[in-house]
């Protein structure tokens, strides 16, 4: 099956964002919303105690992203850039399509449908061509398990930056994300018709900056680690040099070594005395 070109173009933009936000977990756990989760935010058919490999986590991520992309394809009727498309895929990957309440099922708010059976405000504004209004809706979906999650706040900022094609410093700081989320308040009631997504131009500027912001902290840590390693190596070389000198003196005889040590000690004491006098002046 051929991959949607728009989806393919958006993957390099959203994979760093999603992996940074979701965090890789090889053992199933309960996310802040109380949903059994594993891998990179995968929830389908997961039970506590389940374990997977990193390779399996990658497979699940690709499958989940493809499903999220299919939801965006069906729900959006206006042309999108890869940045806009990728931001929506990341958003749907996190919040889901949503479903209306029915019987004992309380339903779930999502990008396509709210629990009250109406479409989300983001979807309605987007399909009306109100891209600014749709972008503003990202910041309203920051709650998981009934409370605001700082990780979701940062993720929505990153998704909005990608959607708008602008840079946003520190928008993707490390923080695990709840897979199940709900908006801050009840979105307005509105209707919209489903459709297909048309390809658009590439909003690369802000997206590439966003990816750079994800990579830069890791590079800084690596550089700091290399500096520490270099310092340790220098110290080891200095110690080795001192040992070699001392062994050479001992080879000349204990008296020679003792004499050199005494001279070094006297020189050190005199230097300390001079330093103290200079300080007192």
Q: What's the pLDDT tens digit per position in 158-169?
A: 999 999 998 655
- Interval 78-136: pLDDT, tens: 999 999 999 999 999 999 999 999 999 999 999 999 999 999 999 999 999 999 999 99
State the Cα–Cα distance between residues 156 and 143, nearest whole angstrom: 11
For residue 219, is pLDDT > 50?
Answer: no
Model confidence band, residue 242 (pLDDT cutoffs 50, 70, 90): very low
For residue 207, is pLDDT > 50?
Answer: no
Contacts of 60 by beta carbon, 8 Å cutoff, 6+ apart? 38, 39, 40, 42, 52
| pLDDT value at residue 259 | 53
pTM score over 0.85: no
pLDDT greater at residue 166 or residue 154: 154
Instruction: Over range 8-26, report the average pLDDT.
Output: 95
Side-chain-side CA neighbours of residue 32 (13 Å) = 20
| pLDDT value at residue 141 | 97
| pLDDT value at residue 140 | 97
pLDDT greater at residue 56 or residue 233: 56
Residues for the chain: how many in total? 281
| pLDDT value at residue 173 | 46
Which residue has tokens 């602008």?
166
Model confidence band, residue 211 (pLDDT cutoffs 50, 70, 90): very low
Which contacts qualify for 23-26: CB closer than 8 Å, 24 or more apart?
A: 23/174, 23/176, 23/177, 24/54, 24/57, 26/51, 26/52, 26/53, 26/54, 26/57
**Contact between 36 and 48 (Cβ < 8 Å):** yes
Residue 202's φ and ψ, nearest 5 degrees, are -90, 120
Residues recognised as catalytic: 22, 31
Residue 182's φ and ψ, nearest 5 degrees, are -140, 155
Residue of 12, 51, 44 whose CA lies nearest to 28: 51
Helix H or strand E encompassing 67: helix 54-75
| pLDDT value at residue 48 | 96
């Amino acid at each position: 099956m051929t991959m949607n070109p728009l989806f393919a173009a958006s993957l390099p933009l959203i994979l760093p964002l999603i992996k940074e936000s979701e965090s890789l977990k090889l053992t199933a756990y309960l996310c802040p919303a109380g949903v059994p989760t594993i891998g990179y935010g995968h929830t389908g058919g997961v039970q506590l105690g389940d374990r997977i490999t990193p390779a399996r986590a990658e497979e699940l991520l690709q499958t989940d992203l493809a499903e999220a992309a299919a939801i965006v394809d069906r729900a959006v009727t206006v042309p999108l850039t890869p940045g806009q498309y990728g931001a929506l895929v990341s958003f749907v990957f996190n919040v889901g399509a949503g479903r209306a309440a029915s019987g004992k099922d309380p339903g779930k708010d999502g990008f396509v449908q709210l629990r009250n059976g109406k479409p989300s405000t983001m979807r309605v504004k987007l399909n009306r061509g109100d891209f600014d209004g749709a972008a503003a809706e990202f910041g309203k979906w920051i709650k998981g398990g009934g409370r605001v999650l700082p990780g979701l706040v940062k993720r929505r900022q990153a998704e909005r930056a990608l959607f708008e094609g602008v840079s946003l410093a520190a928008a993707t700081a490390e923080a695990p994300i709840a897979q199940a989320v709900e908006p801050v308040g009840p979105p307005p009631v509105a209707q919209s018709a489903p459709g297909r997504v048309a390809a658009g131009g590439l909003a690369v500027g802000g997206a590439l900056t966003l990816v750079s912001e994800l990579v830069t902290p890791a590079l800084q840590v690596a550089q700091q680690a290399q500096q520490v390693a270099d310092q340790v190596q220098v110290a080891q070389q200095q110690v080795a040099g001192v040992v070699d000198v001392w062994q050479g003196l001992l080879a000349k005889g204990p008296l020679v070594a003792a004499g050199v040590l005494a001279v070094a000690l006297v020189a050190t004491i005199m230097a300390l005395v001079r330093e103290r006098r200079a300080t007192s002046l």
